[in-house]
Amino acid sequence: MTSTSAFHAARIFDGTTWHTNAALLVAQGRVAGIVPATDAPKGTQVAGAIVPGLVDLQVNGGGGVLFNNDLSTDAIGAICTAHAQFGTTAVMVTLITDTAQSTVTAINAGHAALNTPGFLGLHLEGPHLDLARKGTHDPALIRQMDACDLAVLVSAAQGVDHLICTVAPESVTTHQVAALARAGITVSLGHTGCDHATARAYADAGATMVTHLFNAMGQMEHRTPNLVGAALDDGRLWAGLIADGFHVADAPMRVALRGKAGLAGMFLVSDAMSTIGSDLTEFTLNGRQIFRAGGRLTLADGTLAGADIALIDAVRYVHQSLMLPLGEALNLAALAPARAMGITDRGHLEKGAHADFVSLTPEITAASTWIGGRKVGGTA
């Protein structure tokens, strides 16, 4: 007989509806339903509201660990554990532009980490980018995709549950994008100066995502809409957004969230570095020093170098600063990124979903986190 656990809370958000004085029922790591508290067995009383676990598609590090600097399964576990403390229950661990050998090592680590709690897959951000839109990526490591690179990525897709590749049309052909998409890889356009027509052509080839909208790309102008215009106007392209108050001003974020067209929508990412869950004040990436101060991470020249937030911080920002209803803010960090990856059983708490959930405080912080119905962090 299957054992069912009940988690009681004053409020439960299932991704669509807020339930009051209810209980989340969990069996075999999945949601068995949400029922009135009076109809549920005794169980765990959860302080605050129960909400879906967050899904972060761009996480470079956490807990003092940067994936580029430690390409191991232990590092993946440490990063996932660090972000679980902040309510993120599914993580795409991200490799920033590095050497070909580092990419292979990262892929092997991802293969070996499939059963790590909270590990969703790998996001390879580069090295096939536009040198002119490098951001914090090491220009010496940015290069064109060749046949060997393509073969490595296609093979990698068979060994990890989910794989995102951020590429730029300047360094990758439409034929290569089509091959990646056929292999089941999520192709994201980013770090590119490509124009609107080119972006649409790459969407035709199979690209379905845009990496950190507005950052490291051509902006939307009235006669040259560029990648930002394509991302907002093309219903096939999901677009990630770093909502930390530094990467993008509030007004364009509000415009993007209101105006995104089509079935594909917007989602939040953290773009978190190793500082999350640590007291680090600086660290290195590809031999260059990155400094932490005032909520920002920058190179010595002031270039933003990832973000100093967890995904829950972005939820709080769009709720409190952009005035989005809490349910909408949560969906941008849970349901939307899951859908962007084609995942139907994460990011919500409908029957059959993974029992990944968070105890949310009134201050919009994570008090406790559960993955598959098992508590992995917090006290509530």
Task: From first to last of the 380 residues of the chain, give the pLDDT tens digit.
Answer: 469 999 999 999 999 999 999 999 999 999 999 999 999 999 999 999 999 999 999 999 999 999 999 999 999 999 999 999 999 999 999 999 999 999 999 999 999 999 999 999 999 999 999 999 999 999 999 999 999 999 999 999 999 999 999 999 999 999 999 999 999 999 999 999 999 999 999 999 999 999 999 999 999 999 999 999 999 999 999 999 999 999 999 999 999 999 999 889 999 999 999 999 999 999 999 999 999 999 999 999 999 999 999 999 999 999 999 999 999 999 999 999 999 999 999 999 999 999 999 999 999 999 999 999 999 987 66
pLDDT for position 105: 98
Residue 35: exposed, middle, or buried by beta-carbon count in 10 A (0-12, 13-18, 19+)?
middle
Cα angle 294-332-316, degrees, rounded to a multiple of 5 = 35
Residue 273 Rama label (left phi>0; alpha psi -120 to 50; beta)? beta
Partners of 241 in the β-ladder: 268
The CA distance from 136 to 297, in Å, is 10
Which SS3 state, helix, strand or coil, does residue 55 take? strand
- Whole-number pLDDT of residue 143: 98
* pTM tops 0.85: yes
Give φ, ψ of 131 to 5 degrees: -55, -35
Q: Quick one: pLDDT at residue 153?
A: 98
The whole-angstrom separation of Cα 288 and Cα 305 is 11
- Taking the C-alpha atoms of residue 322 and residue 373, their distance in angstroms, rounded to an integer, is 32
Q: Which residues are annotated as a binding site for Zn(2+)?
A: 125, 191, 212
What local confidence, expressed as pLDDT, does residue 378 receive? 77
| Domains of the chain as residue ranges with CATH | 4-51+348-378 (2.30.40.10), 54-340 (3.20.20.140)
Amino acid found at 370 = W
Using an 8 Å Cβ cutoff, are 279 and 340 in contact? no
Binding-site residue set for substrate: 136, 215-216, 223, 247, 304-306
Q: Which residues are annotated as a binding site?
A: 125, 136, 191, 212, 215-216, 223, 247, 304-306
Rounded CA separation 157/70 (Å): 21
> Given this model, what pLDDT does residue 379 score?
67
Which pLDDT belongs to residue 1? 47
Task: Decide if 249 contacts 214 (C-beta within 8 A).
Answer: no
**End-to-end Cα separation, the chain, in angstroms:** 29
Active-site residue set: 271
**Which pLDDT belongs to residue 18?**
98
From residue 372, give the alpha-carbon distance in Å to each of 28, 353, 356.
Answer: 8, 9, 5
Tell me if 315 sits within 8 A of 332, measured CB to CB: yes
Predicted pLDDT at 291: 97
Distance, in Å, from the CA atom of 158 to the CA atom of 109, rounded to the nearest integer, reads: 14
Distance separating alpha carbons of residues 280 and 271, to the nearest angstrom: 17
What per-residue confidence (pLDDT) applies to 377?
80
Structure tokens at 146: 């060749």
Count of C-beta atoms within a 10 Å radius of residue 148: 9
